[in-house]
Amino acid sequence: MKGLQGKTALITGASSGIGQAIAIRLAQEGCNVAINYRKSAQEAEDTEAMALQTACGQAANCAVKTLLIQGDVSKEADILRMVNETIEKFGSLDILINNAGIQTESASHEVPTEEFDRILAVNLRGAYLCARETIKHLLAQQRSGVIINISSVHEVIPRPMYISYSISKGGMGNLTKTLALEYANRGIRVNAIAPGATITPINESWTEDPKQQAIVESHIPMGRAGTSEEMAAAVAFLASDEAAYITGQTLYIDGGLTLYADFREAWSA
Ligand code: NAD
């Protein structure tokens, strides 16, 4: 896609699921990719190998470069280090993908305070701090850039039993719009994608049980869950110059989940 070749992208939580697919896709489009992971160096190395294989095949002199960076986005010091290491290695940071995210299930009146704080610290505060540091760098270098937040259909659909997650993704919608408005005239575009039910490790509870998966998919107008690659394709588009006039938007990629599926059949006069 236009304008991606030679750019540098930092992807948080890139060693699995949607983040991994984004790292591979952006490498395929010719971006250098900084692959952030929190725990599993092995998964990050696997992601790196797949990204390089997809981008370069067996070519000896491949233009695409990669960097593995351990770091926890709930820790400010780790974020500063991640952004600095990326810029040191590649000379710039053009594209930030705020993908790292966690969720836990608890009745809203029983969520332990530490659990609430942890989810907000990763999903929302971490995304903001990564964006803040990226924007500082872009302004200092007078470069244009792109930030893409990996939100969720729960940016707009309330999610009982997942209050912290719901709040974090709702907040991400406003994070996207506020930054987009504030930096639109300085060449920085900020958008989000909102995946629906997607087959990744975060959803092991139903992706590993065909009966549970069928129940989930019965609620999706298109009748199936999405794939990480489908999410990554939209991210590549939004990051590219094909989307040069798009900012402040959340693109729902959900097989129709946000279309009020209960209205598929008439149930009221
Ligand atoms: P996943 O669990 O595979 O990916 C989440 C990644 O974030 C993991 O690699 C994990 O190690 C990383 N991570 C967690 N805490 C971190 C931290 N403190 N610092 C750095 N990295 C951290 O699941 P996924 O589905 O690929 O999730 C990716 C994003 O997509 C999340 O933000 C999630 O909320 C969002 N999303 C997923 C779905 C879905 O159905 N899978 C739907 C909507 C939104």
CA of 243 to the centre of ligand 1 (A): 24
Catalytic entry in 37, 162, 165, 252? 165
pLDDT digits (tens, 9 = 90+) for 167-222: 999 999 999 999 999 999 999 999 999 999 999 999 999 999 999 999 999 999 99
When comparing pLDDT for 112 and 266, which is higher? Answer: 112
CA 263 to centroid of ligand 1, rounded, Å: 30
> Which ligand 1 atom sits closest to the C-alpha of 165?
34
Core vs surface per residue 46-56: b (16+ CB within 10 A) or e: ebbebbbeebe
The Cα 237–Cα 228 span in angstroms is 14
Q: Is the CB of 38 under 6 A from ligand 1?
A: yes
Q: Starting from the edge strand earliest in sequence, which strands make up the sheet with 8-11, in order?
A: 66-70, 32-37, 8-11, 95-98, 145-150, 188-195, 250-253
Residue 122 Cα: closest atom of ligand 1: 18
What is the CB neighbour count within 10 angstroms for residue 107? Answer: 9
Residue located nearest, by CA, to atom 41 of ligand 1: 198
Name the residue ranges covered by the structural domains of the chain. 8-199+228-255
Paired with 96 in beta bridges are 10, 147
**Residue 266 CA, ligand 1 centroid: distance in Å:** 36
Q: What is the pLDDT of residues 119-169, one digit of tens each?
A: 999 999 999 999 999 999 999 999 999 999 999 999 999 999 999 999 999
Determine if the pTM surpasses 0.85: yes
Can you tell me which atom of ligand 1 is nearest the CA of 154? 43
**C-alpha dihedral (98, 85, 60, 233), degrees to nearest 10:** 10
In CATH terms, the fold of domain 8-199+228-255 is: Rossmann fold (3.40.50)
Catalytic site includes residue 165:
yes
**Ligand 1 centre and the CA of 72: distance in Å?**
12
